[in-house]
């Protein structure tokens, strides 16, 4: 704990029993349960002091983004993490600060506009329904085409 003038600053962090990778797994599992699309995990360790990881995901509608945010915040709080959120009234872009992890939940067009993956130098997630496109190609080659 440090003191700056009259303001005391207490660092926010995860419980000692929860490792960074476990925290990422908890977030990704919650988003996957809520049918989030294009989940991207960016390791920020050594790049930024804001968090250890950033997770970016897409919901099909504002209602889905809001529900994903509500469920994730509840799980993070249950894990003993301090949680703060911005953007809940509109649910176009919800930012969840879970101490050592930052989660951005977007509607598709808003995510495409801000393109956070490019800003952080991370590859754009290429997934269909949360499954890597490369893993789906063999199954897709046998999929029937559009019906006339």
Is 27 within the bounds of a domain? yes
Is 95 contained in some domain? yes
Considering its fold, how many domains does the chain have in total? 1
With beta carbons less than 8 A apart as the criterion, state whether 96 and 59 touch: no
Asked if the structure places residue 26 within a domain, the reply is yes
CB 54 within 8 A of CB 134: no
What's the confidence (pLDDT) of residue 62? Answer: 97
CB 95 within 8 A of CB 73: no
d(CA 39, CA 130): 7
70-84 tens-digit pLDDT: 999 999 999 999 999
In a domain, 137, yes or no: no
Q: Is residue 39 part of a domain?
A: yes
Q: Is residue 3 situated within a structural domain?
A: no
On whether residue 9 sits in a domain, the answer given is no
Residue 67 domain boundaries: 19-118
pLDDT-flagged residues of the chain (< 70)? 1-17, 122-148
- Helix ranges (DSSP H) in 14-146: 20-33, 62-78, 108-114, 116-119, 133-140
| CATH number, residue 104 | 3.30.460.10
Residue-level pLDDT at 13: 52
Domain for residue 108, yes or no?
yes
């Amino acid at each position: 704990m440090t003191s700056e003038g009259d303001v005391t600053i207490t660092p926010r962090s995860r419980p000692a029993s929860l490792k960074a990778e476990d925290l990422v797994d908890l977030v990704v599992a919650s988003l996957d349960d809520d049918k989030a699309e294009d989940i991207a995990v960016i390791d920020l360790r050594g790049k930024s002091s804001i968090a250890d990881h950033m997770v970016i995901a897409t919901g099909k509608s504002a209602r889905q983004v809001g529900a994903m945010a509500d469920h994730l915040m509840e799980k993070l709080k249950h894990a003993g993490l301090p949680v703060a959120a911005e953007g809940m009234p509109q649910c176009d872009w919800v930012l969840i600060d879970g101490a050592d992890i930052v989660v951005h939940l977007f509607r598709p067009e808003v995510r495409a506009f801000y393109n956070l993956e490019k800003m952080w130098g991370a590859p754009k997630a290429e997934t269909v329904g949360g499954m890597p496109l490369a893993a789906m190609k063999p199954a897709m080659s046998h999929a029937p085409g559009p019906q006339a």
